[in-house]
């Protein structure tokens, strides 16, 4: 009788593991060429996107690499099965914005089971170094009916595919390590059956802000948790960072389109914002430490998209109120 194959071991709780591990300074990392192999090694050990976010934050020596790890984990939470060996970029925003009416990139049927992609994107995070582009574009509806309309879909495109041109954008004032790109696609051929399943906006673009907020902030909190322990900050700071990580872990398991998820995320982000503010004076005690200087440079990241988050929370409360008024069966 043959021995049964070994059962896969469940992943350890990343937060408990972080607290149980003796604190040590992170390995200095200067560019994506250094960060990406380290992130890939973490991805091989932490298959769950939330666990990968925490592990990436713990390993980061600065906000930029924590953000990058959280962003890559968020993409894999949005697209389960996305390859771990390719740095990915979600390419949505165009010259006029990222709303459905702003998307002018098109996917044309050119026969033989192929689509041709034409369009331009900007602000594609980590685009200059990416090996895989997740491109949002319009596919014309089939048929000649008067009400036929285009729908948005997402196409995985190899960054080296013929017809792809990637231009790095100027570095931002904060987290300049995380580069952005302008991307042009001129007649780029992809298999029609390679399009990701489901509507490009409702299934990917719309929920990604929620998924990204959850995983990026988990990575940032894990980074701060390690820094707090290494630098001997008050235990109460580390305790609250760990508790918040647990809250983000719960949120990461929720439906990112559900209003309850948005309400919980809003509260968690508010608490995280308080911790980020409290970290400022603690970093000031580090004087001329380069890590403290990077914190002062990068702190503006925490206020990005605050208006969109407030609108998301308001809509969530409206949806919950409307649901409460519906008659119960």
Model pLDDT for residues 45-66, shown as the tens digit of each residue:
999 999 999 999 999 999 999 9
Percent of the chain clearing pLDDT 90 (strictly above): 83
Segment 231-280, tens digit of pLDDT:
999 999 999 999 999 999 999 999 999 999 999 999 999 999 999 999 99
Question: Can you tell me which residue has the tokens 């090694």?
Answer: 41
Residue 324 clears pLDDT 80, i.e. is over it: yes
pLDDT of residue 140: 72
Residue 3 clears pLDDT 60, i.e. is over it: no
> 220: phi > 0 → left, psi -120 to 50 → alpha, else beta; which?
alpha
For residue 92 the two structure tokens come to 């949505």
pTM beyond 0.75: the answer is yes
Contact 300, 173 (CB under 8 A): yes
* Confidence tier at 11 by pLDDT (50, 70, 90): low
How far apart, in whole angstroms, are the C-alpha atoms of residue 149 and residue 202? 16
pLDDT of residue 4: 45
What domains does the chain contain, in order, with CATH numbers?
14-79+203-325 (no CATH), 88-195 (2.40.110.10)
Residue 189 clears pLDDT 60, i.e. is over it: yes
pLDDT of residue 17: 83
Residue 5 clears pLDDT 80, i.e. is over it: no
In angstroms, what CA-CA distances link 176 with 65, 170, 281, 290? Answer: 10, 9, 23, 15
For residue 329 the two structure tokens come to 């069966």
In angstroms, what CA-CA distances link 5 with 2, 10, 180? Answer: 9, 15, 45
Q: Kindly state the average pLDDT of the residues 158-170.
A: 97
Segment 166-186, tens digit of pLDDT:
999 999 999 999 999 999 999
pLDDT of residue 10: 52
* Confidence tier at 142 by pLDDT (50, 70, 90): low
Q: Single out the residue of 184, 180, 60 nearest to residue 126, CA to CA.
A: 180
Mean pLDDT of the chain: 92
Using the Cα atoms of residue 203, residue 205, residue 207 and residue 211 in order, give the sign of their dihedral: positive
């Amino acid at each position: 009788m043959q021995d049964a194959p070994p059962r896969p071991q469940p992943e350890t709780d990343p937060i408990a593991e972080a607290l149980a591990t003796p604190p040590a300074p992170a390995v200095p990392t200067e560019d994506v060429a250094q960060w990406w192999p380290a992130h890939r090694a973490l991805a091989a050990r932490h298959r769950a996107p939330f666990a990968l976010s925490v592990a990436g934050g713990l390993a980061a020596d600065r906000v930029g690499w924590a953000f990058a790890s959280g962003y890559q984990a968020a993409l894999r939470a949005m697209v389960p099965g996305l390859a771990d060996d390719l740095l990915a970029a979600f390419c949505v925003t165009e010259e006029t914005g990222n709303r459905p009416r702003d998307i002018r990139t098109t996917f044309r049927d050119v026969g033989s089971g192929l689509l041709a992609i034409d369009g331009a994107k900007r602000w594609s995070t980590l685009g200059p170094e990416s090996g895989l582009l997740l491109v949002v574009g319009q596919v014309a509806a089939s048929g000649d009916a008067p009400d036929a309309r285009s729908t948005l879909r997402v196409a995985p495109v190899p960054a080296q595919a013929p017809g792809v041109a990637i231009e790095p954008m100027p570095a931002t004032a904060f987290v300049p390590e995380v580069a952005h790109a302008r991307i042009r696609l001129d007649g780029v051929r992809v298999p029609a059956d390679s399009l990701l399943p489901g509507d490009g906006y409702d299934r990917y673009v719309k929920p990604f802000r929620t998924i990204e907020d959850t995983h990026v902030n988990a990575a940032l909190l894990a980074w701060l948790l390690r820094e707090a322990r290494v630098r001997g900050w008050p235990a109460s700071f580390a305790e609250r960072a760990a508790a918040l990580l647990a809250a983000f872990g719960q949120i990461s398991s929720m439906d990112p389109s559900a209003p309850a998820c948005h309400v919980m995320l809003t509260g968690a982000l508010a608490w995280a914002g308080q911790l980020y503010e409290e970290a400022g004076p603690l970093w000031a005690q580090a004087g001329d430490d380069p890590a403290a200087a990077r914190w002062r440079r990068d702190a503006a990241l925490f206020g990005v998209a605050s208006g969109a988050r407030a609108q998301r929370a308001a809509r969530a409360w409206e949806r919950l109120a409307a649901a409460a008024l519906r008659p119960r069966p």
